């Protein structure tokens, strides 16, 4: 599970200390779990589930399935770009045309 937790932190682009603060646990406990010294308890997993509702707990615990439960993906096939949206909403999209003009969509 420590490897999957590290993968999650990387996917969320947060540090161990930011993660610990976000779920209300001691920073040292994250370090101990990631090193394999300790295993997370129920309270730890419950705190993660509350703070990160799109995290798939089955994946976290067993490795089965995908990292996220409800994942919306916006993709631009021509550019090969894919963006995972969890709690963020798109505010506006700006399209730039080759003639130097642009269109803004809200």
**Domain positions in the chain:** 1-106
Q: Regarding the domain delimited by 1-106, which CATH topology (the fold level of the hierarchy) does it fall under?
A: 434 Repressor (Amino-terminal Domain) (1.10.260)
Query: In which element (H, E) is residue 84 found?
Result: strand 81-85
- Please check whether residue 20 is in contact with residue 31, taking contact to mean a CB–CB distance below 8 angstroms: no
pLDDT reported for residue 106:
81
Contacts 24+ apart (CB under 8 A), 38-47: 39/1, 40/1, 40/5, 47/23
pLDDT-derived band at 91, boundaries 50, 70, 90: confident
pLDDT reported for residue 97:
86
Query: In which element (H, E) is residue 81 found?
Result: strand 81-85
pLDDT reported for residue 13:
93
pLDDT in tens, 26-52: 999 999 999 999 999 999 999 999 999
pLDDT-derived band at 87, boundaries 50, 70, 90: low
pLDDT reported for residue 81:
52
């Amino acid at each position: 599970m420590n490897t999957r937790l590290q993968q999650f932190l990387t996917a969320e682009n947060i540090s161990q200390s930011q993660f610990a603060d976000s779920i209300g646990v001691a920073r040292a406990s994250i370090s101990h779990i990631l090193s394999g010294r300790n295993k997370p308890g129920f309270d730890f997993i419950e705190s993660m589930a509350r703070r990160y509702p799109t995290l798939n707990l089955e994946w976290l615990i067993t490795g089965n399935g995908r990292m996220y439960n409800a994942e919306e993906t916006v993709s631009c096939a021509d550019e090969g770009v894919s963006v995972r949206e969890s709690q963020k909403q798109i505010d506006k999209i700006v399209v730039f045309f080759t003639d130097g003009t642009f269109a803004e969509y809200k």
